[in-house]
Amino acid sequence: MKNSPLILDIKGNSLDDGPGIRSVVFFKGCPLDCAWCHNPESKKRTTEISFDKGMCIGCKSCIDICQSGAISFDNQYFIDREKCSLCFSCTDACPSGALSKVGTFMEVDNIAERIIKDKPFFDTSGGGVTLSGGEPTIDISFTSELMKKLKSEGIKILVETCGFFSIDKFMDLIYPHADMIYFDIKIMNCSDHKKYCGVPNDLILQNFIRLHDEYRNGGIRIIPRTPLVPGITDTEENIKAIADFYTEHGVKQADLLSYNPLWHDKNAMIGTDNPYSSDKKMKEWISRENEDSCRKIFLNAGIEFP
Amino acid sequence: MSKRNYMNTLTNLGLRMMASQFNLRSSLKKYLKSSDGWINFSIGFSTETESVEQAIVFQDGKVKVLKNIPDNADAVMRFTSDEVLKEIVKITPNEILNLVLKNKIILEGNMAYLQAFNYFISLIMGKKHQRMLNKLNKKEMKERKKEYGNKSPELAEEIKNRYAYRMKATADEDPGVKFLSDPYLSEFSMDDFPKIKRLHEEHFNTKPAISSERPRLLTEWYRENGFETDNNGKEWFPELRQAYAYKHLMENKKPVIRPESPIAGTCAPEDVAVIIYPDTTGTMIWGELGSIDRRFLNPCSITKQTADDLHDIYAFWAKRITREWIRDKYDYPLCQKIDERAVASFNFKTVSMSHIIPDLETVINEGTESTISKIDRQMKTLGKKETDKLNTLESMKICLEGLNAYAANLSKEALILAEKETDETRANELKMLSEICKRVPAKPARNMDEAVNSFWIFWVGLVMENNNISLSPGRLDQIFQPFFEKDMQKLSKEDEKKNYIKHVIELFCFYFIRNAEHQNLVPDVANYLFSGSHAETAVTLGGIRPDGKDAVNDMTYILLKVTEIMSMRDPNMNARYKAGVNSDTYLKRLCEVNFITVGTPSMHGDDAVMESLKQTSDNIEDIRNWGCTGCVEITIPGKQGNHAGATSINMVAGLEMALNNGYHPLMNWHLGPETGSVENDDFKTFEDFFNAYSEQIKFIIEQNTSFNNMAAEAYAYLRPTPYLSAAIQGTIESGRDVTKGGAIYNTSGTFNIGLADVTDSLMVIKKLVFEEKKITMKDLKKAVDSNFENDPAIHAMVMNRVPRFGSGNDEAVEMANRVASLIHSSYKSHKSFRNGDFTVGFWSVAQHSAYGALSGAIPSGRQAFQPFTPGLTPHPSASKNFLDNIRDVARMNPRYMDNNIAFNVRLVPSPAESREDTIDTMYSYVKTYFEQGGMQMQFNIVNSDVLKDAMANPENYKNLIVRISGYNAYFIHLTMDMQLEIIKRAEFGI
């Protein structure tokens, strides 16, 4: 059985994941475990089952077919993931698609085929493919194969990464085929980083410094980005620390990503708890003032926005 | 045994009350008379259960009620049940109209007399109906404000603010641009044209008025000189009859020069006028003469004099309308009955023929005098016995003489106004205008002002003869560029040149306003069937020239600037794009104008269009010179007699009939052939079902084309068009009127509605029933028959588990092409009256909403009475990836679509993005689409909140234009159904 990464989704016509019109490949699996993750279904490497309450028509075909007795309307998350054997008979039987399989194995050629269809749009708009997820470096060899295939078709590639990978492997297998990198810098304080993201940040920061140096020496463009999460990353302390880090390493361009609260229901869909389900600040769009004050800190440090 | 019941008695009483009103009150009785004498007709009323049978007879000034419907009754109103009959006393005329559309009331017979009857009712019940209507309207507006109103006033501002920023460009990539340094003309805005700004606003605050000038002058002539026969009893040669009447009209038409206008002439004396064509649509508002000024949608003011005039005029025409002519000659054929139900098909031909692009280039450049000489020369070559040809040619001449008389009157009027004018500049302008009108359109135009006046005066003449529906001027940028260059070359100083460019922009802004001052007649039923549609004067820009070179020139950009400044629904701006020839500068400008105006111009891919046009012509220069007519129809200007919007069919009706063995549920009529029953398990394979569908479609098309041809024959008799014929090539050589096939090319254009809905339904049957065997045909039909209410699981499956057209799935695209091919081959197997082919279009006007409202649930999951998708636009749920939509539409074979398509896209602008970035994204979609072979694409760039706000607060959105399906409309003029349909359309963020 192949140990290759699973694919969550291939989203076409994305205007927000890099320049031009792009297709985004979402890998399943991530070495981090951020508390605010907007795609919680991308954290685990293995397949999962998702239930969208809004699409359910109550026909009970799933309950009828389930051999493990894992499905019940009494259950808070509809499916008891402990009992579920992941046989996916229910997702097959579901007429509306409320039950769906999360994470599919796809061959490199398969993925490429889906993407190549949109190449004419990439060409006209200066777009291409964005590798995201989860974490696209979750299986560096596989991703490398995919990148080689896409490159051979003349498609530009942007890698969106959390930065937690082996730098040698990355330089060897990913870097030669990439055209641009988006690199997440979330939290500067190491113990906070471990607390909120599951791992310490020293490897991440090291990797960033290395890649940014490469860029300064003629390598591919890398843009660090910080998701603004209310009360966690958007604090003055964190933003200032990040700005200082950039200044120290000669980073001239960086981005801040606005917070959007539309992820809350996603946890329930895959049967996990949402630690912020009753957090008021987390439920709202970030305020203009907040965002502006964060941006100001960067601007004052001489950092430009792309 | 008699089935008559108490309803019969009640109906009898009601009619007798009406009769006595007319018999006893002289104020009402006078309406029973016209200049020709008493208005005599009879209307029957019955129910399908035979519980009711009554008739009312208007005879020689007396009204009688009969207990039986006489055999020779002019019209019958058939109610499908007692309940329906009971309803009508409680509801307003619009709601009755709704029942007619829903086939709950069947109207048969002379529609003009039915309208007359409605008018008589309104004379008695008018006030009551109006009160009921006002109450309903108030309630509706209140509900709308509650449901859709946003408390954010900045919504109305968002669109206005789009004008504030304008991109710049250079003309390096456009070899045809000779003078403009910034082709986007970004330095100009409406504020630089204060006259236009004022007149533009005035225009939107002017209620259109019904004009009786045209029908009055024509009818006056016919009454004096005879219609069928002349005063000596001899049969008129129709072209001559038309020509003399036309000349009378043009000689006596009020010559009007609108205030401050550099262009002389108007279609009618009223400020904004609705032009009446009594032989086609005119009588359709007979019943509304008392209420048209206060109806909810598109009210038109009407003076008492006009209403009385029209009542008198309509009486003359009641038996002379196209429908009546057909009914009489062909003994109320089946195809007419099908048409009148408006469910399976609707033939636009009885409404008008006009869709055409006349040869303006010759008129403007050579003058009508040269046409007259050409006609004379041709006449000399004919023998005395060739009377038909001689008469046809003579009639063309007479018409042109009429035009010259009108121009002379305009010249005189200009001088009269100049005398009275206190402002010196304007007085000089008027004197110049007087000289211009002395010269054009008789003689060749020598400069831009003469050219535009020649064009407009000729155009007025055209509208006086032909319904002002989809008469299209064609490639104005090509026509006027030589004049622009000629005028510019005479100027040497920079400021002179700049002023001249400003003058030309202003001149065409005036043209837009002049053009918007004639509006087409919209009977209330058309508000629902053709929501918001109007004169549809299509102008086509860009593309390539007959010699294959880039056609984009200075005038292209000037007209785009005018489009941007004016943001009006008419003229209907269309832009051609030739991949590999037209520049990115041009394409990006098209995107920007679309962004600023929300939805115009619509864009066309030259490669696909020209490929499809090869079926009409093998002259490559003619093909390269194509232009749009009306909505989007592909036409060769000046040479093609191509009633491009002749007839439409509801493709979904064929599906319902195939599912019901030839029976149509809403019509409650077994009109089609027996092609197999689902209940009897007759369909063993998908091919079996597809064949059944094919049979039904072929039947509908056969009937539809028959009726079209009968209507064409009616035109050739009732209203041939010698004036138009003088401006269409081929007619002089052939000595035949356009209506008789005199043009070089002859086609009749069709538009076919429901392609995506049919394709998706066929995919459901193919995949779920026959391939995956997840459900049986019987179970599917049961679910469909219950509007899916009995089987939500099947509904969920068909909606979510089957790939749709537009999802990127190869099979679905193949299916769409297969259906398109079926339609195409069915039409091509018939010839039109003018011995041409039918061309096949997949755009829908507002029919996707109208036919949708008359169709039941279908296997694709669409529920009963919901609109279809517009044109051939994929269903909103087909794919989350808009690019799939684009690619699939581009993969449609252009051969099957030689009357063009409409592919609608709604983009939601992102406030965070810069103008340049937004335009770049749009440009990427559009360019790639056309490079992939796409044929047409049209945008609405507006978010749902704004549209909802416009529903609740229409007064803030007077000129918000939206693209329906090929044409523009003012959003606030649309029915609520159409407005909601546009809001629900797939929305893609940019």
First to last CA, chain A: 43
Answer yes or no: are the C-beta atoms of B624 and B213 closer than 8 Å: no
Instruction: Count CB-CB contacts under 10 A for residue A19.
Output: 18
Q: What is the mean pLDDT of residues A263-279?
A: 83
Answer yes or no: are the C-beta atoms of B457 and B255 closer than 8 Å: no
* Model confidence band, residue B1 (pLDDT cutoffs 50, 70, 90): low
Q: What are the structure tokens assigned to B540, written together?
A: 């086509």
Write out pLDDT tens, residues B418-472: 999 999 999 999 999 999 999 999 999 999 999 999 999 999 999 999 999 999 9
**Residue B935 CB-density burial (10 A; 0-12 exposed, 13-18 middle, 19+ buried):** buried
Supply the DSSP symbol for B402. Answer: H
Cβ separation B924–A21 shorter than 8 A: yes
Helices of type H across chain A: 61-65, 89-93, 108-116, 119-125, 140-152, 167-169, 190-197, 202-216, 236-248, 264-269, 288-300
Q: How far is CA A136 from the centre of its chain?
A: 8
Q: What are the structure tokens assigned to B381, written together?
A: 């070559």
Answer yes or no: are the C-beta atoms of B750 and B827 closer than 8 Å: yes
C-alpha span between B93 and A44 (Å, rounded):
64
Amino acid, res. A37: C
First to last CA, chain B: 70
- What is the per-residue pLDDT for B151? 61
ipTM of the complex: 0.93
Which of helix, strand or coil describes residue B638? coil
C-alpha span between B58 and B40 (Å, rounded):
5
What residues of chain A lie within 8 A of the CB of B793, using their CB? 57, 59, 61, 95-96
Give the residue among B850, B894, B829, B688 at the shortest CA–CA distance from B754.
B850
Answer yes or no: are the C-beta atoms of B323 and B349 closer than 8 Å: no
Write out pLDDT tens, residues B156-200: 788 888 888 999 999 999 999 999 999 999 999 999 999 999 999
Q: What are the structure tokens assigned to B388, written together?
A: 């038909």
Q: Which residues pair with B471 in a beta bridge?
A: B356
Tell me the average pLDDT of chain B: 93
Residue B765 has pLDDT above 90, yes or no: yes
Residue A1 has pLDDT above 80, yes or no: no
Answer yes or no: are the C-beta atoms of B163 and B185 closer than 8 Å: no
* Nearest-neighbour CA in chain B from A10: distance (Å): 10
Write out pLDDT tens, residues B651-668: 999 999 999 999 999 999
Percent of chain A residues past pLDDT 70, beyond the cut = 99
Write out pLDDT tens, residues A94-109: 999 999 999 999 999 9
What residues of chain B lie within 8 A of the CB of A11, using their CB? 880-881
What residues of chain B lie within 8 A of the CB of A124, using their CB? 923-924, 927-928, 931
Give the residue among B17, B11, B130 at the shortest CA–CA distance from B68.
B11
Q: What is the mean pLDDT of residues B507-533?
A: 87
C-alpha span between B928 and B288 (Å, rounded):
49
> Model pTM?
0.94
Which of helix, strand or coil describes residue A155? coil
Give 3-state DSSP helix, strand, coil % of chain A, rounded to 5: 40, 20, 45
> Regarding beta strands B936-941 and B904-908, do their DSSP bridges make them parallel or antiparallel, or are they unpaired?
parallel
Question: Which residue, among A10, A15, A59, would best test binding to B if mutated, counting the most B CBs under 10 Å from its CB?
Answer: A15
Cβ separation B883–A118 shorter than 8 A: yes
Q: Which CATH architecture has domain A6-46+103-300?
A: Alpha-Beta Barrel (3.20)
C-alpha span between A75 and A69 (Å, rounded):
11
Residue B804 has pLDDT above 80, yes or no: yes
Tell me the average pLDDT of chain A: 93
Print the SS3 string covering B68-106.
Answer: CCCCCCCEEEEECCHHHHHHHCCCCHHHHHHHHHCCCEE
Least confident of A6-10, A37-41, B93-97: B93-97
* Nearest-neighbour CA in chain B from A296: distance (Å): 18
What residues of chain B lie within 8 A of the CB of A97, using their CB? 796, 800-801
Q: What is the mean pLDDT of residues A72-95?
A: 93
**Within 13 Å, how many C-alpha atoms sit on residue B516's CB side?**
26
Q: What is the mean pLDDT of residues A125-149?
A: 96
Amino acid, res. B280: T
Write out pLDDT tens, residues B370-401: 999 999 999 999 999 999 999 999 999 999 99
C-alpha span between B110 and B324 (Å, rounded):
6
C-alpha span between B978 and B145 (Å, rounded):
17
Give the residue among A162, A173, A249 at the shortest CA–CA distance from A213.
A249
Write out pLDDT tens, residues B543-559: 999 999 999 999 999 99
Write out pLDDT tens, residues B700-758: 999 999 999 999 999 999 999 999 999 999 999 999 999 999 999 999 999 999 999 99
Q: What is the mean pLDDT of residues A270-296?
A: 84
Answer yes or no: are the C-beta atoms of B335 and B616 closer than 8 Å: no
Q: Who among A12, A55, A97 is closest to B883 (CB)?
A: A12
Q: Who among A55, A95, A117 is closest to B887 (CB)?
A: A117
C-alpha span between B122 and B972 (Å, rounded):
27
What residues of chain A lie within 8 A of the CB of B882, using their CB? 12-13
Give the angle B398-B402-B407 at the CA atoms, nearest 5°. Answer: 145
Write out pLDDT tens, residues A165-224: 999 999 999 999 999 999 999 999 999 999 999 999 999 999 999 999 999 999 999 999
For B900, left (φ over 0), alpha (ψ -120 to 50), or beta? Answer: left
B65's enclosing H/E stretch is strand B62-66
Q: What is the mean pLDDT of residues B771-798?
A: 96
What residues of chain A lie within 8 A of the CB of B884, using their CB? 12
Residue A40 has pLDDT above 80, yes or no: yes
Which residues in A have their CB inside 8 Å of a CB on B? 11-13, 15, 20-21, 55, 57-59, 61, 95-97, 117-118, 120-121, 123-125, 127
Helices (H) and strands (E) in chain B, counts: 37, 25
Percent of chain B residues past pLDDT 70, beyond the cut = 99
Q: What is the mean pLDDT of residues B26-42?
A: 94
Q: What are the structure tokens assigned to A248, written together?
A: 């120290």
Least confident of A297-306, B146-155, B426-435: B146-155
Least confident of A100-104, B285-289, B513-517: B285-289
* Model confidence band, residue A266 (pLDDT cutoffs 50, 70, 90): confident
Q: Which residues pair with B989 in a beta bridge?
A: B908
Answer yes or no: are the C-beta atoms of B78 and B48 closer than 8 Å: yes
Q: Who among B797, B921, B988 is closest to A125 (CB)?
A: B921
Supply the DSSP symbol for A82. Answer: T
Give the residue among B475, B538, B622, B444 at the shortest CA–CA distance from B176.
B475
What residues of chain B lie within 8 A of the CB of A96, using their CB? 793, 796-797, 799-800
**Within 13 Å, how many C-alpha atoms sit on residue B817's CB side?**
14
The residues of chain A that CATH labels 3.30.70.20 are 48-102
Question: Which residue, among A22, A91, A99, A121, would best test binding to B if mutated, counting the most B CBs under 10 Å from its CB?
Answer: A121
Fold of A48-102: Alpha-Beta Plaits (3.30.70)
- Helix-helix angle B882-890:B810-828, to 10 degrees: 40
Distances (CA, A) of B307 to B127, B134, B141, B215, B262: 16, 21, 29, 12, 33
Helices of type H across B662-789: 686-718, 722-725, 731-734, 755-764, 777-785
Q: What are the structure tokens assigned to B367, written together?
A: 């003058």
Residue B985 has pLDDT above 80, yes or no: no
Does B601 sit behind a cis peptide bond, omega within 30 degrees of 0 on the bond before it?
yes
